[in-house]
Structure 1
Amino acid sequence: MTEPTAVTVLHLAGSSTSDFYADVSRLYAADCLEATAGERYEFHVAYVTPDGRWRFPADLSAAAIDAAEPTDLPGAVARIAALAPDVMVPQMFCVAGMTHYRALFDLLGVPYLGNTPDVMAVGADKARASAVVGARGVRVPASQVVRPGDAVTLDLPVVVKPVDADNSLGVTLVRDAADLPAAVEAACAHAVGARRALVETYVELGREVRCGVVDVDGELVALPLEEYAVDATTKPIRDEADKLRRAEDGELGLVAKDAEHAWIVADDDPVVARVQEAALRCYDALGCRHYGLFDFRVDPDGEPYFLEAGLYCSYARTSVVAVMAGAAGIDLDRLFALAVDDALTSPPASPAARPRPQE
């Protein structure tokens, strides 16, 4: 009997825009490589650095990346063509990585896990994502997109955030109008594209939760909720310090991964059904594929309000979608295999043929 051929998997990591996003990518992707390794897969790594160069290291250690010969885009395309991967796992978290670099693999005809570049672009723009899911009937806070100097017309308090940055960078809760200009400037300083800030009506606590949705053999499954430590007085919103931290050696680490900061909500909690129903609507409205992750603010009456979408999964053991799936009885190996198998049999349609998210 012929032994089955291993699936050649290329993990695309790093960032073309910043060392910070490169470090985030390496943190998650390295764990994915370790956690999902098995006889079925032959893993390879492509790593992009903020100067736009590509490397193909043996692993994601700093030493291996430094030792790998850098190459330009034509050289990288040649390497990828020679490797002929069966599937790519996108591990880049910068906007360019979530969009342009995924689109490159569409052009190369290499299937990949997760959402397509057009869906990622909508999800990365918090104002657009809010408009799309709001049109599908999901509750969203009243909001306004502003630039420095624009008048804010919403009643206070409001939350000011960059339109297109993650990890709570540049997020401020504003209760005094005198603080608005500085908050808008801080948000715009972290904007990835144009200097724009999203100002949203503050949803009183309540609770703050996330809900993942995954495709299990063609059936959408809303996963158990993860709740985050917030307090109406001492911690009304989550900020950058609640998510990532650098150790003394400079390595990036995760904060919101222990019982003090985050926990799985019991299935019989009254909020679960409401949030899961809203998450399924978000997934459908945005046109997601394989997985989606959605943040909600729950008001004192138990009504969930959509905050933002996180349309990526690193398949690391600490990845939120993986943790939620584990709580639902879907272990990481199966979660990864479900997406790999679907990507191999149903690759994304060409960009011109894809339906656009409904706005």
Structure 2
Amino acid sequence: MSIFHILHLVGSAENEFYCDLSRLYGKECVEATANPSHYRFSIAYVTPDRLWRFPTSLSREDINAATPLSLSQAIQWITEQNIDLVLPQMFCLPGMTQYRALFDLLKIPYLGNKAELMALTAHKAKAKAIVRATGVKVPYGELLRNSDTPNLRPPVVIKPANADNSLGITLVRTMDEYQAGLEKAFQYADEVLVEEYIELGREVRCGTIVKDGELISLPLEEYAVNQENNPIRNYEDKLKRDDTGELTYAAKDKKKAWIVDIKDPATRRVQE
């Protein structure tokens, strides 16, 4: 059996937060899927200065020990490695778009969606408009730039249009809270989405894969929310720093997140 050579694309061209986020997911993926009889792993690590490194692991020590390379040097290294597949694990906007498109140019296949689709889904207002056009119910909202005045009255949810992991999100219940919520969101993006607040229900997510041209929905994951203390999921509900300063998960226990029973009516409703 031939060994499949996979390049893990990790890091961020934007900032250290997204570097840490990517490294968190990438490190766990490498450890969870390691199988030398089937896969050979290489790692490409991009830093905010747009330099590339090819460390032997995703430990800080190995990343720092790796030689920084320019884009042209990195392309030369990659094209000499006989890569079978790239596994993108960058979460900044350039990482989800431009760096995927690079591998289209190099004609190296990668797992996941193409750059143009990622650009749409990364922008909340654009993604919302597309799903609304297909008949999916979405909350009423408006897209604002810094000089715009919102028209919606509280309660509203304010969020940056293209930030991830609940960065900059605020539930505004009174007019007195409005300006602070806008200022917080504009710290993360040039455009902000203001939406009517929908009373709390259940929060679930569902991954989907394509196998032999067929869409296959994965089991639902549900997150703990409650009207009194946790009406929306904030950044603190998803990520935190440990005692050493490393980024880690805040919801990796069964009290905060769990897999939904496949017999639960929500499973069929979401998957359909």
Aligning the two structures, in what range does the TM-score lie when normalised by the shorter sequence? over 0.9
Equivalent residue, structure 2, for 1:237: 232
1:94-153 CA deviation, whole Å, 9 max, x = no partner? 110000000000001111111110010001000000001111111111110112342222
* CA contact 2:165–2:235 (8 Å) conserved in 1: yes
Matching residue's letter, 1:214: I
Superposed displacement of residue 222, structure 1:
1.9
Are 2:33 and 1:36 aligned? yes
Q: Secondary structure at the match of 1:275?
A: helix
d(CA) in 1 for partners of 2:257, 2:225:
10
> Partners of 2:85 and 2:207 in 1: how far apart?
23
Letter in 1 for 2:31: E
> What residue number does 1:200 align with?
195
Give the structure, 1 or 2, with the largest relative contact order (CA under 8 Å, sep 6 or more).
Answer: 1
Give the share of equivalent positions with the same residue, in percent.
Answer: 53
Matched letter for residue 15 of structure 2: S
Query: Once the 2 structures are TM-superposed, how far is the Cα of residue 234 of structure 1 from its aligned partner?
Result: 1.4
Aligned position for 1:22: 19
Instruction: State the one-letter code of the partner of 1:42.
Output: R
Per-residue CA deviation, residues 8-59 of structure 1 (Å, 9 max, x unaligned), is 1111101111111111111111111121121111111111011111001111
The secondary structure found in structure 1 opposite 2:80 is helix
User: In 1, are the aligned partners of 2:168 and 2:184 still within 8 Å (CA)?
Assistant: yes
Aligned to 1:248: 243
Aligned to 2:150: 152
Q: Where do 5+ consecutive residues of structure 1 fail to align? A: 278-359
Take 2:262 and 2:232, find their aligned partners in 1: how far apart are those partners? 24
Please state if 1:269 is matched with 2:267: no
TM-score (norm 2): 0.96
d(CA) in 1 for partners of 2:67 and 2:263? 53
SS of 2:171's partner is: strand
What is the root-mean-square deviation in Å for CA atoms of aligned residues? 1.2
CA contact (8 A) 1:149 1:181 kept: no
The answer on whether the counterparts of 1:147 and 1:184 sit within 8 Å (CA) in structure 2 is: no
Corresponding residue SS for 1:50: coil
- Show the counterpart of 1:137: 135
Preserved contact between residue 158 and residue 192 of structure 2 (Cα < 8 Å): yes
Deviation by residue 1:200-253 (Cα, 9 ceiling, x = unmatched) = 111101121112222233321222221111111211111011001111111111
For 1:32 and 1:207, the matched residues in 2 are separated by: 28
Is residue 87 of structure 1 aligned with residue 85 of structure 2?
yes
Quote the offset at 1:5 in angstroms. 2.5
The answer to whether the 8 A contact 2:153-2:175 is kept is: no
CA distance in 1, matches of 2:142, 2:166: 18
Choose the corresponding residue for 1:188, options 186, 189, 192.
186
Residue 90 (structure 1) shift: 0.5
SS of the aligned residue for 1:187 comes to helix
Aligned to 1:214: 209
> What is the match of residue 8 of structure 1?
5
| Counterpart-to-counterpart distance in 2, 1:218 and 1:260 | 36
- In 1: Cα distance, 2:179 partner to 2:148 partner: 9
TM-score normalised per structure 1: 0.73
Structure 2 unaligned runs (5+)? none
Aligned partners of 2:246 and 2:156: how far apart in 1?
A: 34
- Superposition deviation, residue 265 in structure 1: 1.9
In the TM superposition, structure 1's runs of 4+ consecutive aligned residues that sit over 6 Å from their partners are: none
Output the CA distance in 2 between the equivalents of 1:8 and 1:204: 47
Query: Secondary structure in 1 aligned to 2:108?
Result: coil
CA contact (8 A) 1:146 1:199 kept: yes
